[in-house]
Structure 1
């Protein structure tokens, strides 16, 4: 996107980067901001150096701002920072790789959602900025740069996440919405408008696809989350399978909280297949009533937070199930305070 290409050593390592000429590029140079995980920070610090080298190379080019947006943004921001008395303004203006604090991992938004510690999207955006506001330097050095991160987010027009495996999808863990959903939320709240959001799927190198984030999330919901065959297969895993169903519904809530991509119709399908289905409800009560309680808690939270505009009958039905299973759990605890089942049972 910046219009550079790597120069490789004989050992297959990137030695440096070289700008592609505008005649060959045939488009403007696009500014890019990356948010990398703590694991990536620890394992591939040299990758940050490549991006830093790319920024340096492109900013030094004698090109007009209207075709070199990296140069435009760095020079304009550096001038503003210098006028404000900031030390090393150009260095601060060049930050393009951000991560979490040294020794820290995650994006934070999933923690806030899981704990119910948020009121609206602005809270989730604040968490994302606080967790990710550390610039990763050219030699892997991490420095506090929350202001720079927020400035970068304010200029983002589109977000992109690359997926290279078909073995996982957007609902495998809360990290998926924490990073991409959190990024989208932070951009929307900082820039004041929703960014275009895309997912590049290169799981099949011969058939690379690009989806909008909404398309990709809803595709994953139809393919697995709402797939009767997958839901039935989870029963083979007993207690663990029930817990995984509960976690899946939690992730649905996270995607809707951060991006609003879960429609009322999809929420209705989740309720029907996870809570209202008589056979599944009976199985959950038997193997893991806590999972059923959690599922209904999450569905009711979606309603309470206005993520799902459910009708009164649906809401009442969920509350009835929730209260009933809560009573079952209390009765079970009273009958067996230790929670230990004898070998004869």
Structure 2
């Protein structure tokens, strides 16, 4: 719906997220606030990453799916900021342990993850803070 409003009016509508994880204290956040919250609490949280990595292929799939969700929100709402992609890239690709985990447990998923980051750059959803990310798109794993 947000993408349609943006396409027709040229303006991004306000978007909100209802958090009912604690029914006694529901919270309403802007979509931007919720994405920042999820980035810190889950996406780049080492405890979350270690937890999903205990599940082999399924954990690798979950990491790749997380980037797909980020990409979809970036493309349709504009609520994902470039620094969120930087954080995810650092956590999923630059981190040797996570990168190796993905390559071993779901090599096709890892390739899809790199392609999704590359597409985010090409579609101008992400402007990486470091030019060295481009070498990963070419199959290199440089020291940064």
TM-score scaled by length of structure 2 = 0.87
Do residues 269 (structure 1) and 87 (structure 2) align? yes
- How far apart, CA to CA, are the structure 1 residues paired with 2:57 and 2:103? 10
- How far apart, CA to CA, are the structure 2 residues paired with 1:204 and 1:280? 31
- Asked whether the equivalents of residues 300 and 318 of structure 1 are also in contact (C-alpha less than 8 Å), the reply is no
- Asked whether the equivalents of residues 74 and 80 of structure 2 are also in contact (C-alpha less than 8 Å), the reply is yes
User: Per the alignment, do residues 192 and 227 of structure 1 end up closer, same or farther by CA in structure 2, a change over 3 Å counting?
Assistant: same
Q: Which residue of 1 aligns with 2:56?
A: 238
- Asked whether the equivalents of residues 86 and 129 of structure 2 are also in contact (C-alpha less than 8 Å), the reply is no
- How far apart, CA to CA, are the structure 2 residues paired with 1:253 and 1:212? 18
- How far apart, CA to CA, are the structure 1 residues paired with 2:140 and 2:12? 41
Q: Which residue of 2 aligns with 1:306?
A: 124
- Asked whether the equivalents of residues 285 and 292 of structure 1 are also in contact (C-alpha less than 8 Å), the reply is yes
Report the alpha carbon displacement of residue 201 of structure 1 after superposing the two structures with TM. Answer: 2.4
Q: Which residue of 1 aligns with 2:70?
A: 252
Say which SS state the counterpart of residue 290 (structure 1) adopts. helix
- How far apart, CA to CA, are the structure 1 residues paired with 2:29 and 2:129? 32
**Counterpart pick for 2:47 among 201, 206, 229:** 229
CA deviation string 1:194-221 (max 9, x = no partner): 2222223233232122111111122112
- Asked whether the equivalents of residues 43 and 66 of structure 2 are also in contact (C-alpha less than 8 Å), the reply is yes
TM-score scaled by length of structure 1 = 0.39
Gaps of 5+ in 2: none
- How far apart, CA to CA, are the structure 2 residues paired with 1:237 and 1:203? 24
- Asked whether the equivalents of residues 255 and 262 of structure 1 are also in contact (C-alpha less than 8 Å), the reply is yes
- Cα RMSD for the two superposed structures: 1.9
Moved over 3 A (4+): none
**Counterpart pick for 1:280 among 78, 98, 109:** 98
- How far apart, CA to CA, are the structure 1 residues paired with 2:85 and 2:93? 11
User: Per the alignment, do residues 305 and 202 of structure 1 end up closer, same or farther by CA in structure 2, a change over 3 Å counting?
Assistant: same
Say which SS state the counterpart of residue 247 (structure 1) adopts. helix
Gaps of 5+ in 1: 1-182, 326-345
CA deviation string 1:221-273 (max 9, x = no partner): 21111111111111111112111211111111111001111212111111111
CA deviation string 1:136-165 (max 9, x = no partner): xxxxxxxxxxxxxxxxxxxxxxxxxxxxxx
- How far apart, CA to CA, are the structure 2 residues paired with 1:205 and 1:231? 27
User: Whose strand proportion is higher, 1 or 2?
Assistant: 1
CA deviation string 1:316-338 (max 9, x = no partner): 23223xx359xxxxxxxxxxxxx
- Asked whether the equivalents of residues 44 and 91 of structure 2 are also in contact (C-alpha less than 8 Å), the reply is yes
Q: Which residue of 1 aligns with 2:30?
A: 212
Report the alpha carbon displacement of residue 311 of structure 1 after superposing the two structures with TM. Answer: 4.7
- Equivalenced residues, count: 141
Do residues 199 (structure 1) and 21 (structure 2) align? no
